[in-house]
């Protein structure tokens, strides 16, 4: 007797969407490791490689890896030489993601605890598949009538990415020079006018990780998650012009909002994780519960390590020899 396929639940479909590269793109094998100082820090798609070939003094294109020129001596030189390439590409409109240039940089390192090897504008990291880190705060209240309710924000229509989409109450990238808790306090004030007194209730709640792909590039993201219980009478107010409005929704309605196409795809894992931890998504209501939990914790910190032994050896190859092979 043939075994019938069980229809995929909406939550599992969404989990596959924000992990589309992890589940599908990675298996294609057409991306090459990006190696800096003998260690893999990212992954580069063929369309990006085709452009980097034009900068042989900065990028060495090998058959199975792309290396940043090992002659660059330190953090500052590596940063400056790569930034010059990015600015040239930006001036020629080579990559759509560079239209979102912010003069805000992310550190490039092998793992979160690793020493930064260089920095680059946050909009460019997806070209190189650099692991990004962010901070998200789940603002919630325990309403005596509606039960657990979650604050969500609607992003401004002028935002460079995901304009007009629904999002977590507070979220922001971990920029160079800022710590995780420091970023949480900064974003809470800027995005939602949350006072330092309210932030005393802030609770660390682990992290989520996923590997997403869009036309802009590759996004291996880790989000440090916080929960914050807020006063019943508190209403968030935006300070930085990046939020159109806030809305407080009961947990069930918040889940429906997350499942809608109007929600920012790469913010979905944070709300799903919150609802799992608070029991609103559980094995009795969601048949794909174990798989969904796994897809909220993709092993990004170890994913690139397997490439290092092979890619380090490539530094010994002659760049002229490699270019001849490419031709």
pLDDT digits (tens, 9 = 90+) for 200-237: 999 999 999 999 999 999 999 999 999 999 999 999 99
DSSP type of residue 165? -
Q: Name the phi and psi angles at 214, rounded to 5.
A: -140, -175
Q: Give SS3 for 291.
A: helix
Q: Is the pLDDT of residue 1 over 90?
A: no
Average pLDDT over residues 141-157: 97
pTM (two decimals)? 0.92
- What per-residue confidence (pLDDT) applies to 7? 82
- What per-residue confidence (pLDDT) applies to 305? 80
Q: Give SS3 for 185.
A: helix
d(CA 94, CA 218): 16
d(CA 286, CA 13): 12
User: What's the Cα-to-Cα distance from 183 to each of 135, 172, 178, rounded to whole Å?
Assistant: 7, 7, 6
Q: Is the pLDDT of residue 327 over 50?
A: no
Where do the domains of the chain lie, and which CATH numbers do they carry?
27-130 (3.30.750.160), 133-210+223-301 (3.90.79.10)
Quick one: pLDDT band at residue 323, thresholds 50, 70, 90? very low
């Amino acid at each position: 007797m043939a075994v019938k396929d069980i229809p995929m639940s909406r939550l599992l479909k969404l989990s596959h969407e924000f992990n589309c590269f992890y589940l599908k793109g990675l298996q294609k094998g057409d991306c090459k490791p990006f190696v800096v100082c003998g260690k893999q820090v990212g992954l580069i798609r063929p369309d990006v490689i085709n452009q980097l070939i034009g900068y042989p003094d900065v990028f060495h294109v090998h058959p199975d890896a792309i290396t940043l020129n090992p002659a660059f001596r330190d953090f500052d030189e590596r940063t400056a030489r790569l930034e010059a390439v990015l600015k040239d590409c930006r001036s020629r409109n080579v990559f759509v993601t560079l239209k979102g240039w912010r003069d805000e940089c992310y550190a490039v390192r092998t793992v979160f605890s690793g020493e930064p090897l260089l920095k680059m504008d946050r909009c460019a990291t997806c070209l190189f598949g650099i692991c990004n880190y962010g901070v998200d705060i789940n603002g919630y209240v325990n309403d005596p009538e509606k039960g657990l309710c979650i604050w969500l924000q609607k992003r401004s229509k002028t935002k460079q990415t995901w304009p007009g989409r629904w999002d977590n109450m507070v979220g922001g990238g971990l920029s160079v020079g800022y710590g995780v808790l420091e970023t949480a306090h900064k974003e809470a004030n800027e995005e939602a006018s949350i006072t330092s007194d309210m932030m005393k209730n802030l609770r660390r709640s682990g992290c989520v990780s996923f590997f997403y792909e869009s036309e802009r590039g590759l996004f291996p993201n880790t989000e440090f998650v916080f929960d914050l219980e807020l006063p019943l009478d508190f209403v968030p107010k935006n300070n930085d012009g990046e939020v159109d409005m806030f809305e407080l929704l009961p947990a069930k309605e918040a889940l429906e909002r997350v499942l809608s196409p109007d929600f920012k795809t790469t913010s979905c894992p944070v709300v799903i994780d919150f609802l799992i931890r608070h029991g609103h998504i559980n094995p009795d209501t969601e048949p794909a519960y174990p798989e969904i939990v796994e897809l909220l914790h993709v092993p990004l910190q170890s994913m690139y390590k397997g490439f290092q032994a092979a890619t380090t050896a490539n530094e010994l190859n002659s760049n002229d020899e490699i270019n001849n092979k490419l031709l």
